Structure 1
Amino acid sequence: MVQETALGLLGVGYEGLDVVRFVERLQSHGVSLLVDIRKTPVSRKPGLSKTRLGESLRAAGIEYRHAPCLGNPKWNRPGFAGEPSEREAARSAYSALLRSNEADRWLRWIAEQAATRTVALMCVEADEERCHRYVALREIRRRTGGPAA
């Protein structure tokens, strides 16, 4: 699923897609930079782990960057799949992680890139509201004065 946001930002999850369909979807939205915000960029799905995905994206003219500091730690993942109160607790815990200097640098850089081209933040989950990228996108919009989610 692809969810469009402000500032040339997209949220995208590859759940249910193979690498060919995933890259086609990115191309259809004019994405020129994909930022992988999985903590560990591996997948059981062929072609969607870091090295192979990066190769497929480069062949399609899309730049690939991995930002592990924007990944959601394993201990916080179950909350995103839980009830609304659990999801809010997981979002709050993840938001606290975005206060690190490294995360701050990545979020600023992504916002700068999105001002001049289309950037996609990627994870596995198709439902953005059940994914940590929802929080990362919301934080970038907050910092740049973009519309709220």
Structure 2
Amino acid sequence: MIGIGYEGLSVDQLVARLQADGVEVLVDVRMTPLSRKPGFSKRALSEALSAAGIRYLHDRRLGNPKDNRAAYADASSDAGATARARYREIISSGDGAAAVRDLAALAEERAVAVLCFEADQAHCHREQVIAAVAGSAVLV
């Protein structure tokens, strides 16, 4: 499983990267799959991926709540650590934990990429999603 952010990419560049990595399914972990960037909202992205033979899934259960995003990117700050701890709780229980299990099962069968906006995965919640699926310690 890989993570990918679409920041700085066109849809064609994203698709090319996914194809180069052999991705069969892209799982969008944005809470709300909308973008001001053309082609990256749910329907348009799904259509572009489908045309390239890549399945698109959106899993809102793995989204980072809007009020948790601002501090998230700075892991070295107290606010960033708090935001990451809050997200860790989200994916460790209830619907979040079920979503992690579902993603793990999918990744056992298919080549999966996890998508969100940030180019640098260290500043994005998808890093914690991938770590949780891998069963490793969730990064702080």
TM-score in terms of structure 1 length: 0.86
Structure 2 contact 128–138 (Cα < 8 Å) conserved: no
Q: Secondary structure, in 3 states, of the residue corresponding to 1:61? A: coil
Q: Aligned residue for 2:89?
A: 96
* CA RMSD between the two structures: 1.7
Q: Which of 112, 115, 119 is equivalent to 2:108?
A: 115
In structure 2, relative to structure 1, the CA distance for the partners of 1:64 and 1:81 (3 Å cut) is: same
Shift of 1:83: 5.2
Shift of 1:21: 0.6
User: 1:68-147 residue pairs with structure 2 within 5 A?
Assistant: 68-82=60-74, 84-85=76-77, 86-142=79-135
Structure 1 contact 141–148 (Cα < 8 Å) conserved: no
User: 1:6-85 residue pairs with structure 2 within 5 A?
Assistant: 9-82=1-74, 84-85=76-77
> Among the aligned pairs, what percent are the same residue?
44
Structure 2 contact 121–127 (Cα < 8 Å) conserved: yes
Amino acid at match of 1:22: L
**Structure 2 unaligned spans of 5+:** none
CA distance in 2, matches of 1:137, 1:66: 15
Shift of 1:26: 0.6
CA distance in 1, matches of 2:43, 2:111: 22
Q: Secondary structure, in 3 states, of the residue corresponding to 2:74? A: coil
Q: Secondary structure, in 3 states, of the residue corresponding to 2:118? A: coil
In structure 2, relative to structure 1, the CA distance for the partners of 1:80 and 1:24 (3 Å cut) is: same
Which ranges of 4 or more aligned residues in structure 1 deviate by more than 4 Å? 146-149
Deviations 1:116-144 (A, max 9, x none): 221011000011011011111111112xx
Q: Count how many residue pairs are aligned between Structure 1 and Structure 2.
A: 138
TM-score in terms of structure 2 length: 0.91
